[in-house]
Amino acid sequence: EVMLQQTQVRVVVPYFERFVAALPSVRALADAPIDDVFALWSGLGYYARARNLHAAAALCVERHGGELPRDFDALIALPGIGRSTAGAILAQAWGERFAILDGNVKRVLCRVHGIEGWPGIPAVEKRLWQIAEAQLPDARMADYTQAQMDFGATLCTRADPACVLCPLQRECLALREGRVHALPTPKPGKPLPERHALVLLLRDAGGRVLLQRRGPDGVWAGLWSLPEADDHVAARNWFEMNIAGDYDAANALAAIDHGFTHYRFAMQPLEWREVALRDGVRDNAGMRWIARAELASLGIPAPIRKLLEN
């Protein structure tokens, strides 16, 4: 359920299978180093989910004997588990009578009931929760919950919904009124801001790459990535403080444009080969040389991993 926040099933499946094979229990997840968790998660994006999952497992060990709690309030008290995720867990794992309201369910309810307004608006979301809870069956909660998600993912899709196959044709107000493509009401649009940065790709004489662990906050928090600077002045200052080499010998590689939910990130990689750390600068918990064979064992942002593996 946590992996399926913001990510489609077809993408999640291989990650899920690899993750649970490596960390088959709540206690195994809690005991795992965060770098191992990030490495297993690497490529799924939205890495706060991985940090929250790891923290939630630790709390389950601390508070619940290493088990996932079966109580709604205890579940939503765990990092990364909100009302809909908790409902999905309780309904599917234990058949409890709780509603869900993920993106697929919101879309179906908006169309069937003709609900106007962007579902992210609190008043609209409150109305959707009321409908979702009013429609709960008295039995087969796991099947019902899964069917809701599958219905939105396969029939009542965002684009080109299969209305001719839909078992709710007669009840659907959006279909009756010719508003299928207008509902749910889209989020009010505005251009995404863009951030620019230089990323420094430094290789030593043995071909190892220098990686830095990002801080605990912000994008890609806690992951290993390339040193980064806002401009050439900052990049040169960092380089001359840490690296024995010629900053002006950099080779500019193809720019990288990566999209996040709230902004776009334009990165310009600069590459140096056969450089070394200055005297007095050593590998540490926040910066170290990594051989190509070690990259798979670290949590590295997807666009940076792609750059390193080319």
294 annotated active-site: no
CA nearest neighbour of 257 among 266, 268, 249, 248: 266
**What are the contacts of 176-184 at 24+ separation with CB within 8 A?**
177/114, 179/111, 179/114, 180/111, 183/107, 183/110, 183/111, 183/114, 183/115, 183/116, 184/106, 184/107, 184/110, 184/111, 184/115, 184/118, 184/119
Write the Ramachandran bin of 220: left for phi over 0, alpha for psi from -120 to 50, otherwise beta.
left
Residue 160 CB neighbours (<10 A): 8
Listed in order, strand segments (DSSP E) in 160-290 are 194-202, 209-213, 224-225, 228-229, 243-244, 251-252, 256-259, 264-272, 276-277, 287-290
Contacts of 137 (CB under 8 A, 6+ apart): 144
Beta bridge pairs of residue 196: 266
Q: Which residue from 178, 183, 192, 169 is spatially nearest to 261, judged by alpha carbons? A: 192
Residues annotated catalytic, as ranges: 1
